[in-house]
Structure 1
Amino acid sequence: MKRRDRKGFGLAEQIIALAVLAVLVAIAVPALHRMLETHELRAAQGDYIAALQHARNLAVNEQVRIIFCPSRDGLRCSDDDAWSQGWLIGKADVDKDGQLLGSPRYIGRKYRDTLVIVSNKQKYIWFSPDGSASNTWQSLSFCVKGDRERLLTVTISSRGRVKGGVAQNPATSPCFATN
């Protein structure tokens, strides 16, 4: 009787390969999830830095007072310090603190519910025509709910300069007061 050369894998080999692959995927998924959350956190910080710099440039170029504020509906400034629902940029209404004069110029997007963005003091940021920030040394904290290790900040100086960084003392962050 002639013996044929077998090519390929048998059923047992295929099942073992699938089991090994399943174990590797189970190990990789939590790390991938954490990496995606960190990426979203850094992207949000970058979005806010760009938006704040743009708001400051608008104030200087147009010689008007510009407001940067949190918004829940994309039409009006909200009256809280939670910025995760989105933000607005527009001309500041000098008669109504913390509100826009007319419709917003730019609208920022909402982030996932696991991302927390809060301010330390004011509920809005005003840029004067000279580029300075009226409510001095404002900062925003960015974190993932339940994770005290990953905390980013954006700081706005009284001169209106915007700087991003990693929080030095996460225990004092307003980010975890909302968790």
Structure 2
Amino acid sequence: MAVRASGFTLLEFLVSIAVVALLLSIGVPSLVGALERVRLHGAFSALTVSLANARLAAVSRGVAVTVCPSQDGRQCRKDLVWDTGWIVFIDRARNGVPPGADAVLERATPDLSGISVRSTAGRHLLRYQPSGYSPGSNVTLRICRAADQRELGRVVVNNGGRARSERPTRLQPCVPEP
């Protein structure tokens, strides 16, 4: 009685590896693109929700509320980088500094891996007045692909305090507005 060994031959194994490599080469770029779209949508959502909540808090509480980039969730950064998150806080003194931990209404730290967020030059924070207005110049928060600094979209807040999101029809360089 002859015993037959079961298993793969070298040729079958190499064909299997080639098929798996082909499927991965097709699927991985699609997955990377899908992950970027999810992070982009998350950045848009997190920013617009935080801005809407800040405006609502300013109107309902009758005080100035500030939104600014923050690295530690306690104080504002002085640059235009929003990648590490941002805070929303009651700013009665209107000086852009949270008076204490109890004044911070929200600490946002979304997953922005591979995405950078930058605000308009000269506008490192956004303040809502008790009327809901955000006086001064419009603020633009640019959402860019970190790898090649191509703009994926932006959130713009006008003087009336209304935030809107825009997505370009074609990728363009991510440069801040003066």
* TM-score, normalised relative to structure 1: 0.82
The change in CA–CA distance for 1:150 and 1:125 in structure 2 (over 3 A counts) is: closer
| Structure 1 SS opposite 2:165 | strand
The 8 Å contact of residues 149 and 174 in structure 2, kept in 1 or not, is answered as no
Residue number among 170, 174, 177 corresponding to 2:176 in the alignment: 174
Q: Name the counterpart of 1:102.
A: 100
Q: Which structure 1 segments of 5+ residues have no match? A: 1-7
Let me know the Cα RMSD of the aligned residues.
Answer: 2.9
SS at match of 1:42: helix
Partners of 1:118 and 1:149 lie apart in 2 by 12
How far is the alpha carbon of 1:160 from its aligned partner? 0.4
Matched residues, percent identical?
25
**Distance in 2, Cα, partners of 1:95 & 1:148:** 33
* Counterpart Cα distance in 2 of 1:172 and 1:71: 21
Per-residue Cα deviation, 1:14-61 (whole angstroms, up to 9, x for no partner): 542342122211232123112212220221111100110000000001
In the alignment, the residues of structure 1 paired with residue 7 and residue 151 of structure 2 have an alpha-carbon distance, to the nearest angstrom, of 46
What SS does the corresponding residue of 2:41 show, helix, strand or coil?
helix
Q: Which residue matches 1:47?
A: 46
- Whether the aligned pair in 2 keeps the contact of 1:137 and 1:157 (CA below 8 Å) is yes
TM-score (norm 2): 0.82
Structure 2 distance, partners of 1:93, 1:10, is 73
Aligned to 2:59: 60
Partner of residue 139, structure 1: 140
Matches within 5 A, 1:8-23: 11=9, 12-13=11-12, 15-23=14-22
Q: How many residues are treated as equivalent by the alignment?
A: 172
Write the distance in 2 (CA, Å) between the matches of 1:49 and 1:81: 17
- Tell me: CA distance 1:36–1:113, structure 2 relative to 1, closer, same or farther (3 Å): closer
